[in-house]
């Protein structure tokens, strides 16, 4: 046990993370920025392991009061049709809609039409965890320091379809590889606010989604940086680890399965109208892996839930990221387990740095007094990137681990497709 709640902090990265130029002209690098953004991790000593930290989230509900206005976007993808809800952080208001999460109201069409701006304030796009939403406590703790920053951050949360009291309007639901909605919002933000530096932040399942997104975009990604917190990375390994233990299966798998079952029940009419899912089968599941078998496999055509987990995982995808990427995990996380973290793959990519604490649980990191430690490295990193780093100085790295330009093998591993591609003779 770490002494009196003081967690050990370790960093994993390549030996030569990407060089960064400070605004004063001095040289630094990504790992140094991440290390300097990470303060000591002093947690509540009474919550001395990952289970206690994680379970305390059911008790500790106090969090900063964040206000939102919601916009419903029509998906612009020809295959991934439907609608999804995005909640934008706004000044406090008194016209919350009782059909939405607390402190949330809809934008009027006129208000939303006037959002476009040429300002250069930084903007953060956030993804929540499984079955959550913009109202989540861990999320509000993380973004509050940015709302108090002199740089006047703009923040929005992309809610997964059906979450946070949003509607399901087609048979296209969300999964761990559902990158299409965040991609649309990043494109929309780049067009609507052409001068804003854009950043991404994801938690748990949202961390997996946003990691997949920045990996799929590669060097074309419009984000200036990305943070993934509590990412399960290898979903198959995480699922198997949960099923191995009594707490893993009968507490975490059961709770997550129940939450997803309730989410489907909230949208029963829409599910029956827009999908061919067996509603009664879904309501009879107990564990998350059973839910994924009944819903994700049936929706997307995966033969098994493990096939879905392998396809949606980001353990390999981290090697394709080409923007500054900061991952924050707890080694005692009982849900996004440490054995699923791709330490060696992260070492292959100079754009990636992992910070791992020995304590913290899953999206918990409770400090004495109720604060959440993870808010500090998140806000410090983002503020440092905006205030201290010349973002235009970030240049592509030509050589990277398995993706060296001078590779001599007859195959080349594609980390986004998770497969080896045959290299043509003239390649």
Count up the domains in the chain and report the number.
2
Is a pLDDT exceeding 60 seen at residue 404?
no
Which member of 131, 204, 238, 379 is catalytic? 204
In whole numbers, what is the pLDDT of the chain averaged over residues? 94
In a domain, 373, yes or no: yes
| 204 in catalytic set | yes
Q: 265 with 245, same domain?
A: yes
* Angle, CA 10 vertex, CA 28 and CA 129 arms, to 5°: 95
| 141 in catalytic set | no
| 26 in catalytic set | no
Which member of 128, 135, 267, 362 is catalytic? 362
In a domain, 426, yes or no: no
- Site of tokens 């997996």: 208
Q: 304 with 381, same domain?
A: no
User: From CA 137, how far away is CA 65, in angstroms rounded?
Assistant: 10
* Angle, CA 31 vertex, CA 3 and CA 228 arms, to 5°: 75
pLDDT tens for residues 130-171?
A: 999 999 999 999 999 999 988 899 999 999 999 999 999 999
What does R_g of the chain's alpha carbons equal in angstroms?
21
In a domain, 424, yes or no: no
Helix spans in 48-100 (H): 50-55
User: From CA 347, how far away is CA 349, in angstroms rounded?
Assistant: 6
- Over residues 10-24, the mean pLDDT reads 97
Q: 303 with 185, same domain?
A: no
Q: 222 with 262, same domain?
A: no
416 — pLDDT class (breaks 50, 70, 90): confident
Torsion angle of alpha carbons 306, 307, 311, 315, nearest 10°? 40
pLDDT tens for residues 247-257?
A: 999 999 999 99
In a domain, 416, yes or no: no
Domain of 244 in residue numbering reads as 235-312
- Over residues 57-69, the mean pLDDT reads 94
**DSSP reduced 3-state for 355:** strand
pLDDT tens for residues 32-41?
A: 999 999 999 9
Which member of 333, 356, 358, 384 is catalytic? 333
Is a pLDDT exceeding 60 seen at residue 48?
yes
pLDDT tens for residues 377-393?
A: 999 999 999 999 999 98
In a domain, 408, yes or no: no
**DSSP reduced 3-state for 302:** coil
Q: 9 with 69, same domain?
A: yes
Which one of 312, 342, 368 terminates a domain?
312
CATH number of the domain where residue 35 is located: 3.40.50.1820
């Amino acid at each position: 046990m770490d002494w009196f709640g003081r967690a050990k902090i370790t960093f994993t990265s390549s030996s030569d993370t990407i060089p960064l130029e400070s605004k004063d002209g001095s040289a630094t690098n990504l790992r140094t920025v991440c290390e300097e953004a990470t303060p000591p991790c002093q947690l509540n000593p009474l919550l001395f392991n990952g289970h206690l930290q994680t379970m305390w989230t059911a008790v500790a509900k106090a969090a900063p009061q964040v206000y939102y206005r919601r916009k419903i976007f029509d998906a612009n993808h020809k295959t991934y049709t439907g609608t999804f809800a995005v909640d934008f952080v706004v000044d406090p208001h008194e016209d919350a809609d009782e059909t939405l999460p607390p402190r949330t109201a809809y934008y009027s069409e006129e208000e939303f039409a006037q959002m476009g701006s040429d300002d250069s304030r930084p903007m953060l796009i956030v993804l929540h965890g499984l079955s959550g939403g913009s109202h989540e406590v861990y999320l509000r703790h993380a973004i509050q320091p940015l709302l108090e920053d002199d740089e006047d951050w703009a923040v929005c949360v992309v809610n997964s379809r059906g979450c946070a009291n949003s509607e399901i309007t087609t048979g296209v639901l969300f999964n761990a590889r559902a990158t299409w909605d965040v991609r649309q919002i990043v494109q929309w933000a780049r067009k609507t606010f052409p001068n804003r530096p854009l950043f991404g932040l994801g938690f748990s399942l949202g961390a997996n989604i946003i990691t997949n997104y920045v990996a799929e975009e590669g060097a074309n990604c419009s984000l200036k940086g990305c943070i993934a917190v509590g990412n399960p990375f290898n979903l198959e390994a995480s699922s198997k680890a949960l099923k191995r233990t009594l707490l893993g299966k009968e507490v975490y798998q059961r709770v997550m399965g129940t939450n997803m079952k309730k989410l489907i029940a909230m949208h029963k009419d829409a599910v029956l109208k827009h999908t061919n899912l067996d509603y009664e089968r879904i309501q009879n599941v107990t564990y998350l892996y059973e839910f994924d078998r009944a819903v994700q496999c049936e929706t997307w055509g995966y033969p098994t839930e493990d096939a879905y987990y392998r396809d949606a995982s980001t353990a390999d995808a981290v090697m394709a990221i080409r923007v500054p990427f900061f991952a924050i995990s707890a080694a005692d996380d009982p849900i996004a387990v440490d054995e699923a973290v791709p330490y060696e793959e992260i070492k292959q990519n100079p754009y990636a740095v992992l910070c791992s604490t020995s304590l913290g649980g899953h999206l918990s990191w409770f400090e004495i007094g109720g604060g959440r430690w993870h808010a500090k490295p998140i806000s410090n990193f983002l503020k440092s990137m905006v205030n201290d780093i010349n973002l235009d100085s970030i240049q592509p790295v030509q050589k990277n681990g398995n993706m060296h330009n001078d590779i001599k093998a007859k195959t080349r591993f594609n980390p986004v497709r998770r497969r080896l591609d045959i290299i043509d003779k003239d390649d």
